[in-house]
């Protein structure tokens, strides 16, 4: 039975196949929106320098848009609300700038940058009107036409905005932001609890001993990518062959990103549906990326995106998602006796003086589960750990690797 009904925004992404005439109109809209954004930013900067008046609010920027359209009829070729979205983007850029200044004054380590001029736009947004889904699998866009769209599923709820964007591989997409009523139910497995330790040897290790293998999509495609990049470096700048080579490199990067995204969605959904309580570690990924020996592998794993997916999918499934305290030495603690067991990265087995021996990632996952369950007020989070430790001390401490079982999405 539903517990509560709340309204939430969900994005639905569909592939577009515009014709040459459609692309010509879309590129024209991109250029005009970029020009409008730069005009608004220039007006804001000059007005503040001369009169010390801030024009960063959305209403003031919309008034400037009206003045620009009256003086330059070229902007009338663009739907009016698309231009108003330019003011929305610029006002948010100013808000983020002022917010980071306050954070900097409070002692937080953030990078503060003033809004900059744009070289190009790769997307346009229709905030409310100007688009319509037709019955013949086409998307009607104001002043563009009817664009073929692949509706692999039906958008649910009330469509609030439409964003048309293009990636580096010249692929076009329509993203609908819909307001849906979410009926959240009780999780069917509230008694199942798990701690997750992410890593490079295995993408993620669960506290019950299961491990998700690391697919290493970038590493697997690196040979092909290097070959395409070498071909690109030999092309003459400005030539047609160089433009085609750039397109091939971009398509290779897009394929790697799509493979990674599909992998993250599958495993985050399996974990969110299978466990009512999920405990994860708090990671300083930006700090980890400063390690030049592991930066490529860390970026390829996309831990931050995986944990973000887990958080909202666990919430939608009715489960509980909790992070442990920051900078906790999860890999140096024993989940059984809570003693410190120092070990380097090359040491893959956790062995404690209390007799508990297991793969270090499994031990870390159990430490995370203990910490997060304690913060959530759950006392019997690691009930399975006691029997595992007793089993290990009875004579199998010499083969701790048996506690790590590699699983796949089909295996769960």
391: pLDDT strictly greater than 50: no
pLDDT category, 187, cuts 50, 70, 90?
A: confident
Region 297-310: what's the mean pLDDT?
Answer: 93
Mean pLDDT across 279-303: 90
The DSSP code sequence of 340-395 is B----TT--EEE-TTS-EEEHHHHHHHHHHHHHHHHHT-S-TTHHHHHHHHHIIII
Task: Read off the pLDDT of residues 350-366 as tens digits, 9 standing for 90 and up.
Answer: 877 787 788 888 888 88
* 218 CB-near residues (< 8 Å, 6+ apart): 225, 256, 296, 299, 300
> pLDDT band for position 393 (50/70/90)?
very low
Q: Are 142 and 131 in contact (CB under 8 A)?
A: yes
* pLDDT tens-digit readout, 199-258: 998 999 998 888 999 999 999 999 999 999 999 999 999 999 999 999 999 999 999 999
> What ranges in 106-239 are assigned the alpha helix state H?
217-220, 222-233
Among 254-263, 298-307, 352-361, 388-397, the minimum mean pLDDT is found in 388-397
Domain ranges within the chain, ordered by starting residue: 4-184, 193-213+264-411
Q: Which residues contact 99 (CB under 8 A, 6 or more apart)?
A: none
Which pLDDT score is estimated for 92? Answer: 95
Q: Per the structure block, which two tokens stand in for 217?
A: 């999509």
144 phi and psi angles, rounded to 5 deg: -120, -50
The arithmetic mean of pLDDT across residues 168-197, rounded, is: 88
Residue 30 has pLDDT above 50, yes or no: yes
- Name the CA radius of gyration of the chain, rounded: 26
| Helix, strand and coil percent figures for the chain, each rounded to 5 | 45, 20, 30
407: confidence class by pLDDT, cuts 50, 70, 90: low
pLDDT at 390 > cutoff 50? no
**CB-based burial of residue 127 (10 Å sphere; 0-12 exposed, 13-18 middle, 19+ buried)?**
middle
The mean pLDDT value of the chain amounts to: 86
pTM of the model: 0.83
* Distance separating alpha carbons of residues 83 and 90, to the nearest angstrom: 11
Residue 385 has pLDDT above 80, yes or no: no
3-state secondary structure of 16: strand
**Residues 46-53, mean pLDDT to the nearest whole number:** 91
Query: Which of 137-146, 154-163, 255-264, 350-359 is predicted least confidently?
Result: 350-359
Confidence of residue 116 (pLDDT cuts 50, 70, 90): very high
Which one is predicted more confidently, 181 or 399? 181
The pLDDT assigned to 117 comes to 96
| pLDDT score of 394 more than 60 | no
In this prediction, residue 213 carries a pLDDT of 93
Q: Are 382 and 390 in contact (CB under 8 A)?
A: no
Contact 340, 332 (CB under 8 A): yes
Q: Lowest-confidence range among 165-174, 186-195, 274-283, 388-397?
A: 388-397
User: 190-211 burial, b if ≥16 CB within 10 A, otherwise e?
Assistant: eeebbbbbbbeebbbbbbbbbb
Q: What value does the mean pLDDT take over residues 27-56?
A: 93
Contact 39, 45 (CB under 8 A): no
Better-predicted residue by pLDDT, 90 or 186: 90
d(CA 370, CA 335): 7
Could you tell me whether strands 193-198 and 277-280 are parallel, antiparallel, or unpaired per DSSP bridges? Answer: parallel
pLDDT of the residue at 5: 64
Share of the chain above pLDDT 70, in %: 89
Tokens of 291: 């390690």
Q: What is the pLDDT of residue 397?
A: 37
Question: Residue 78 — pLDDT band, cuts 50, 70, 90?
Answer: very high
For residue 275, what is the DSSP state?
-
Q: Averaged over 146-174, what is the pLDDT?
A: 92
> Is 389 a residue whose pLDDT tops 80?
no
pLDDT band at 338 (very low <50, low <70, confident <90, very high): confident
Q: Sign of dihedral through CA atoms 127, 130, 134, 137?
A: negative
Among the listed ranges 17-26, 91-100, 336-345, 388-397, which one has the minimum average pLDDT value? Answer: 388-397
For the record, the structure tokens of 343 come out as: 């070990």
For residues 269 and 313, is the Cβ–Cβ distance under 8 A?
A: yes
């Amino acid at each position: 039975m539903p517990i509560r009904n709340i309204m939430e925004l969900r994005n639905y992404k569909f592939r577009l196949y515009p014709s040459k005439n459609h692309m010509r109109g879309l590129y024209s809209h991109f250029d005009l929106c970029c020009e409008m954004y730069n005009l608004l930013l220039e007006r804001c900067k000059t007005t503040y320098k001369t009169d010390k008046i801030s024009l960063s609010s959305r209403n003031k920027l919309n008034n400037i848009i009206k003045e620009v359209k009256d003086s330059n009829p070229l902007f009338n070729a663009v739907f009016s609300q698309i231009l108003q979205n330019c003011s929305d983007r610029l006002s948010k850029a100013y808000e983020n700038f002022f917010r980071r200044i306050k954070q900097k004054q409070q002692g937080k380590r953030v990078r503060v940058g003033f809004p900059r001029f744009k070289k190009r736009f790769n997307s346009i947004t229709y905030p409310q009107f100007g688009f319509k889904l037709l019955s013949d699998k086409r998307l009607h866009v104001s002043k563009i036409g009817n664009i073929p769209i692949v509706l692999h599923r039906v958008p649910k709820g009330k469509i609030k905005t439409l964003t048309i964007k293009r990636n580096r591989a010249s692929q076009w997409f329509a993203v609908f932001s819909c307001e849906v009523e979410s009926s959240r139910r009780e999780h069917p497995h509230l008694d199942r609890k798990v701690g997750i330790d992410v890593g490079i040897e295995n993408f993620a290790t669960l506290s019950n001993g299961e491990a998700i293998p690391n697919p290493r999509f970038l590493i697997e495609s690196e040979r092909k990518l290097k070959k395409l990049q070498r071909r690109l470096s030999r092309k003459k700048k400005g030539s047609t062959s160089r433009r085609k080579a750039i397109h091939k490199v971009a398509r290779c990067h897009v394929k790697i990103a799509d493979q990674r995204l599909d992998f993250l969605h599958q495993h985050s959904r399996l974990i969110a549906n299978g466990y009512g309580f999920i405990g994860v570690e708090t990671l300083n990924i930006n700090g980890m990326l400063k390690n030049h020996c592991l930066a490529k592998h860390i970026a390829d794993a996309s831990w931050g995106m995986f944990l973000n997916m887990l958080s909202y999918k666990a919430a939608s499934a009715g489960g509980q998602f909790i992070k442990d305290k920051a900078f906790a030495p999860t890999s140096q603690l024993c989940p059984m006796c809570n003693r410190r067991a120092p070990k380097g990265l090359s040491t893959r087995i956790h062995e404690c003086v209390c007799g508990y021996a297991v793969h270090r990632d499994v031990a870390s996952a159990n430490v995370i589960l203990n910490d997060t369950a304690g913060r959530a007020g759950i006392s019997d989070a690691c009930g399975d750990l006691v029997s595992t430790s007793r089993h290990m001390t009875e004579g199998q401490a010499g083969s701790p690797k048996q506690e790590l079982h590699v699983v796949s999405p089909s295996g769960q």
